[in-house]
Structure formats: structure tokens, C-alpha cells
Amino acid sequence: MPDSVFTAEQRDALQEIANLAMGRAAARLAALLGRFIELSVPRVRVVQASDAGKALREMTGIHDNVTAVRQGFRSDIKGEALVLCRTANVTGLAALVDHTFGDAAAGERTRDDDEVDEAGVETAAARGETSSQDELVFDVANVLMGACVSSILDELGRTPVFFPPGLLGANVSFDDVFQPTVLAWSVALLLEVNLGLEDDAFRAHFVMLMAEDSIRLMGDALDALLSAL
């Protein structure tokens, strides 16, 4: 299945859907962090699974170690969502959260309701606690993965079921994240969007991975969406 598996119209539609989804996720993240969030243009590639790590390294520009969180999802279209960030940049996020929510931790901020993530779990930042860096990245990833996947599949007329998210690693290489020998498919769709703070102190990359059967189903869903316009 070549990189040109999608027509130009399908690719444009998928990128537009991803852009809308990331806009919603960025709004949630901005509310969580109290900062403006910048977004990149979504990028789509279809590659051999053995080339996924190399392709994502090119797409993200990351060559050092990362902190990575993954979450599986399924409908008739199924796959995995990943959130990656440079491990070296996580300290900047921790400093921002400690500064933003420091007053709340001292009892200077009041709340009527608990802030929750996509799974209905109160985030560490919303609790106003000084959290470990892994917990902070997990909070950010929960917001991004839940909002993005739900929005994208909703536009395609699907309602995803999510598997529990998991931390792939707190300081791992791309080779450790993408191991061709353990991937369940031979071809992968890479949908990548990155977002970050306006001062570039922290940047995260959202990636959606899908296998060959789901790629075909997504193409059919995009055709149905385009024909309804």
C-alpha cells in the first residue's frame, strides 16, 4: 500500500478533520495550563511499519530521547494514539504547572467542580499539586488523545471505545517506541500534529497509527463524508 493510498481530496479532508480535532484539544489544554497553545499543520503519511520510526523522526524532527504515552481505540476503524515529547522539555512543563497552580496548592484558588480529563479522572494539575513529570505528561496526553481521536472519528460517524492509556517510557529512544518486530501490521497510517506553548518551552506530538484494514475503512468513511457535502 503506497504513500499515495489516499486521493488528494481524501488527504485534504483528513487533514482538515485533524486540524479541527486538534483545535478542540488545544483549547482544553490551554484551559488546563492557562497558556496559549500553538498548532502545526496536520501531516499524513502511509508507510511500511518497519519504516514508522524513521518516518516519524523525519516528521517530528526529534532525534533525542522522548517520553511517550499510548492509548488504543476501536470501532470498525481501530488503531493507536501516541503522544510524544522530548524528555528534555518536560522540565519546562513542570515549571509552568508549578508556577500556574502554585497559588491553588496554597489554598488561594477555589473550585466549584473538579476538573477532569477525557476519562473522567481529575488531573494532577487541576488538583493544584506539584506532580511528577511523568504524571504531567500523562495528563497532557490524556487530554490530547481523548479529544483528538473522539473528534476525528465523530466527524467520520464513529464512536470509539478506548483502552486504558499506558506510559511507554519516560526517557526512551524512537527505536524503543517503534519496534517493527512487535507491530501487529505491515503498513501504517501516520497522522501527526504537534502543538506547544508559544515560547516553545514545551512541545508535544500527537500521532495516530492505523493498520491496513482500518486505512481502507477510513478511506471509505472520507468518501462518504465528501459525498455528503
Average pLDDT of the chain to the nearest whole number:
79
pLDDT on residue 109:
42
Judge whether 136 and 93 are in contact, CB under 8 Å. yes
pLDDT, mean of residues 45-52 = 84
For residue range 72-82, list pLDDT tens digits in order.
Answer: 999 999 998 99
Parent domain of 198: 3-227
Lowest mean pLDDT among 59-73, 78-92, 129-143: 129-143
Count up the domains in the chain and report the number.
Answer: 1
**CATH number, residue 152:** 3.40.1550.10
Model-level pTM? 0.78
pLDDT on residue 217:
95
For residue range 33-44, list pLDDT tens digits in order.
Answer: 788 888 888 888
Judge whether 37 and 195 are in contact, CB under 8 Å. yes
For residue range 67-117, list pLDDT tens digits in order.
Answer: 889 999 999 999 989 998 888 877 767 666 665 555 444 444 444 444 444
Query: Residue 75 to residues 81, 122, 152, 161: CA-CA distances in angstroms?
Result: 14, 26, 12, 6
pLDDT, mean of residues 145-165 = 93
Q: What is the rounded CA–CA span in Å between residue 30 and residue 24? A: 10
DSSP-derived secondary structure for 61-102:
---S-EEEEEEEEESSS-EEEEEEEEGGGHHHHHHHHHHHSH
